[in-house]
Amino acid sequence: MRISIVIPAHNEASFLKDCLDSFVAQTYLPNEVIVVDDNSSDDTFTIAKDYAQKYDWIKVVQRNSTDEHIPGKKVVDTFNFGLAHASEYDLVGKFDADIVLPNNYFELIVNQFQANWKLGMCSGLLYIKKEDEWIYENIADKDHIRGPIKLYHKACFEKIDGLRPGVGWDTVDTLLAKYHGFETITLPEIHVKHLRPTGHGYSSKNYQTKGEAFYKMRYGIVLTKIAALKMALQAKSPILYFQAILGYLKAFFQQQPRYVSKKEGKFIRSYRWKGIWSKLNSI
């Protein structure tokens, strides 16, 4: 299966070498890795260029954008910029520059796609380092495919119409994949090192965009409260709950554009409620 990977990278010089080394060491090499230097002021481009000179399947392109940290939108816009330079592919991936893959990552995942024609998305799990030990990054359920290590089958990627440019893009894509009848799988035996924990660079205002994302996914206020409470508990930050609710209400009164249609939104709410009742019944 032909694999194209796009890595958006803004000032990732501290992590990029370790990241690319893990791609080079793969037992099943991707057909191409496109590093998009997004307006970096450090050595990101130089490092990526060095790898591109050594390996003909690694490419580097440059994108001029703002230095402002815009969660969700900036990374998706950068990914789309890189995707425009991609060759033909069967699997397309959006990976971050601060991850280190085990050397059999693509071998194991390609096996999953080849064995299951309904599989739309697949990944391993992210682990962060705490006190010299790598532990699961517990900000999402283990069945959720995380944003830094997304791999899509082309049929699924096209059916969901690509990625939404905003916070929540790595949740709405999974929900839309299920809406269109695709399966999504995480492989718990695959441990991916996440060198920089999620949330780096977020401000209070940025956290409000999480609430906006719930509005754009048509969660409704009750589901939003439940999701916001879960996030706050996982992050051990009570104020995150109120920031998310505030973001939802702002989006509601501003009537911001949605990520999904009414029909898709109805499916998403039903799917979320089924998951909630299932967990409650298992207690």
Q: Kindly report, residue by residue over 211-229, the tens digit of the pLDDT.
A: 999 999 999 999 999 999 9
Q: What is the pLDDT of residue 201?
A: 46
What is the spatial distance between Cα 227 and Cα 94, in angstroms, rounded to a whole number? 25
Residue 206 — very low, low, confident or very high, per pLDDT cuts 50/70/90? low
150-161 exposure pattern, b = at least 16 Cβ within 10 A, e = fewer: bbbbbebbebbe
For range 239-245, the mean pLDDT: 92
- Please name the residues in contact with 219: beta carbons below 8 A apart, sequence gap of 6 or more: 227, 268, 269, 272
The answer on pLDDT for 187 being more than 80 is yes
The answer on pLDDT for 117 being more than 60 is yes
pLDDT tens for 131-180 read: 889 999 988 889 999 999 999 999 999 999 999 999 899 999 999 999 99
Task: Provide the residue ranges of all domains of the chain, joining segments of one domain with +.
Answer: 3-194, 204-282
What is the spatial distance between Cα 116 and Cα 230, in angstroms, rounded to a whole number? 32
Q: Which two tokens stand for residue 16?
A: 């990029």
Rounded percentage of the chain residues whose pLDDT exceeds 70: 96
Q: What is the pTM of this model?
A: 0.91
What is the spatial distance between Cα 128 and Cα 192, in angstroms, rounded to a whole number? 9
Percentages helix, strand, coil for the chain (3-state, rounded to 5) are 45, 20, 35
Q: How far is CA 59 from CA 49, 84, 187, in A?
A: 8, 13, 28
C-alpha atoms less than 13 angstroms from C-alpha of 95 in its C-beta half-sphere: 37
Query: Is 133 exposed, middle or buried, given 0-12, 13-18 or 19+ CB atoms closer than 10 A?
Result: exposed
The answer on pLDDT for 189 being more than 60 is yes
Helices (H), the chain: 13-24, 44-54, 73-83, 105-115, 154-159, 169-179, 204-216, 221-235, 238-254, 262-282
CATH 3.90.550.10 at 3-194, yes or no: yes
What is the spatial distance between Cα 10 and Cα 42, in angstroms, rounded to a whole number? 9
Radius of gyration for the alpha carbons in the chain, expressed in angstroms and rounded: 18
